[in-house]
Amino acid sequence: MKKTYIYYILNCLINERAADGWEPVTYDHMAISTQIKGAFDITFRKQQ
Q: What is the 3-state secondary structure (H, E, C) of 29-45?
A: EEECCCCCCEEEEEEEE
Q: pLDDT-based confidence at 41, cuts 50/70/90?
A: confident
Statement: residue 34 has pLDDT above 80 = no
- pLDDT confidence of residue 1: 53
Band the pLDDT of 21: cuts 50, 70, 90: very high
Q: What angle do CA 32, 37, 43 make, to 5 degrees?
A: 80
CA-nearest of 14, 19, 22 to 40 is 14
- Cα–Cα distances (Å) from 16 to 32, 33, 35, 38, 48, in that order, read 27, 29, 29, 22, 17
Q: Where are the domains of the chain?
A: 3-46
Q: What is the pTM of this model?
A: 0.64
pLDDT tier at 20, thresholds 50, 70, 90: very high
33/7: higher pLDDT: 7
Cβ-based neighbour number of residue 22 at 10 Å: 15
